[in-house]
Amino acid sequence: MIDSNVARKPNCAFCGKSLTVYVLKNICRKGIICNVLECTDCQIAMTHPFPTDKEIDDLYSTGNYRTDVGTRFNPIVENLVYQATVVKRRRIEKYAKIGKIIDIGCGRGLFLDVMRRGGWDVVGLELNKQTASYAERVYDLNIYAGKDVELSLESENFDVVHFCGVLEHSKKPNVLLSEAHRILKNNGLLIVLLPDIRSFEFKLGRENWLHLDLPFHLFHFTEEGLIQTLQEKGFKIRDIKRFHLEYSPFGWLQTLLNLSKIRFNLLYDLLKPESFRKDKEKLVDLLGAIATLILLPFYLPLALFLSIFEPVFFKRGSIVEVYASKEKP
């Protein structure tokens, strides 16, 4: 018997119209079967059905999505992530003077710690209280934790609002963007980074695309859809970046490996701390790791080339980062 919630197509969370265009069907991840349907008007797709609240809590629980000590990768990769975050701070300061910034979906607080070291007044918002506790305990950050806490923030109070890999995880990205506009000062800066489901990497990888990240991603944006939505919310687009050193080359690399039928996202898992790995099939891991090592000399330069080639020649990237300013009423 077919679940009526699955059989019934959803309505677009942005315009309310019924979604009829399937991008992907019946993709099973983490034991959850997902479909992806796109709104042709808004140019934004949705996962259907959404995981239940309990499934979402389990997916994001500490020890599943990140370790109890807040890290996601081994020390070498963690250092590279830190250095990339320092570079991002310098880039942000090209668009905004040092002031007050809020990171919505701040996770373990690394980004905010780097911003604070640069002189910024920082605030974090994190729905997962376990994750927020790490940011508070280790970095001594001011974190608002819990559901719908953004609704209590003061209007026109921030110089910068930052969303990095957040909107696609939220059940209500439309509301988050409206709130971002409300809490930003006039001419304040909004930064949104997320995957682009119209990228060549997705078209090649499809369900093997690293950045698809089902069932964690509830929405799947296109660059056009994101820009259209931001403009409707009262933002003026200042710049669009389609290459991100932290995400773009590795995304291509893992997608190519997934297409080679090595265990799904194996390299990504191998870069995580041992406590993250729950798969006990050591033989399969060993064979996959050997195959990965053999392919790396070929795939690594190809991944770097593709991650640069696509933005330069096609004005498209697997990751899109938009800088926008709040327009005066």
**Annotated domain spans of the chain:** 75-243+319-326, 251-307
The pLDDT score that the predictor gives to residue 2 is: 40
Q: What is the mean pLDDT of the chain?
A: 88
Which residue is it, tokens 């696609």? 168
Mean pLDDT, range 248-261, rounded to an integer: 96
Residue 281 has pLDDT above 50, yes or no: no
Residue 12 to residues 41, 206, 287, 293: CA-CA distances in angstroms? 9, 22, 43, 43
Q: How confident is the model at residue 280 (pLDDT cuts 50, 70, 90)?
A: very low
- Domain 75-243+319-326: CATH class, spelled out: alpha beta
**Burial degree of 277 (CB within 10 A; 0-12, 13-18, 19+):** exposed
Residue 169 has pLDDT above 50, yes or no: yes
The pLDDT score that the predictor gives to residue 100 is: 97
Residue 249 to residues 17, 75, 87, 127, 309: CA-CA distances in angstroms? 36, 19, 16, 29, 11
Q: Are 317 and 185 in contact (CB under 8 A)?
A: no
The pLDDT score that the predictor gives to residue 148 is: 58
75 phi and psi, to 5 degrees? -55, -35
The pLDDT score that the predictor gives to residue 90 is: 94
The pLDDT score that the predictor gives to residue 71 is: 61
Residue 302 corresponds to which tokens in the numbers above?
């190809």
**Residues 181, 173: Cα–Cα separation, whole Å:** 13
Mean pLDDT, range 210-237, rounded to an integer: 96
Query: What DSSP state is assigned to residue 171?
Result: S
The pLDDT score that the predictor gives to residue 1 is: 35
Q: Are 10 and 19 in contact (CB under 8 A)?
A: yes
The pLDDT score that the predictor gives to residue 36 is: 97
Residue 17 corresponds to which tokens in the numbers above?
């119209």
| pLDDT over 70 percentage in the chain | 88
The pLDDT score that the predictor gives to residue 273 is: 67
Q: How confident is the model at residue 279 (pLDDT cuts 50, 70, 90)?
A: very low
The pLDDT score that the predictor gives to residue 124 is: 92
The pLDDT score that the predictor gives to residue 304 is: 96
The pLDDT score that the predictor gives to residue 70 is: 57
* Chain segment 306-327, per-residue pLDDT in tens: 999 999 999 999 999 999 999 8
The pLDDT score that the predictor gives to residue 62 is: 54
Mean pLDDT, range 34-39, rounded to an integer: 96
**Residues 13, 44: Cα–Cα separation, whole Å:** 9
**Burial degree of 65 (CB within 10 A; 0-12, 13-18, 19+):** middle
Q: Are 321 and 165 in contact (CB under 8 A)?
A: no
* Chain segment 105-155, per-residue pLDDT in tens: 888 889 999 999 999 999 999 877 777 777 788 888 888 876 555 557 889
Who has greater pLDDT, 42 or 126?
42
The pLDDT score that the predictor gives to residue 274 is: 64
The pLDDT score that the predictor gives to residue 54 is: 86
Mean pLDDT, range 163-178, rounded to an integer: 94
Three-state DSSP state, 269: helix
The pLDDT score that the predictor gives to residue 68 is: 55
pTM: predicted TM-score of the whole model, two decimal places:
0.90
Q: Which of 3-12, 119-128, 166-175 has the lowest mean pLDDT?
A: 3-12
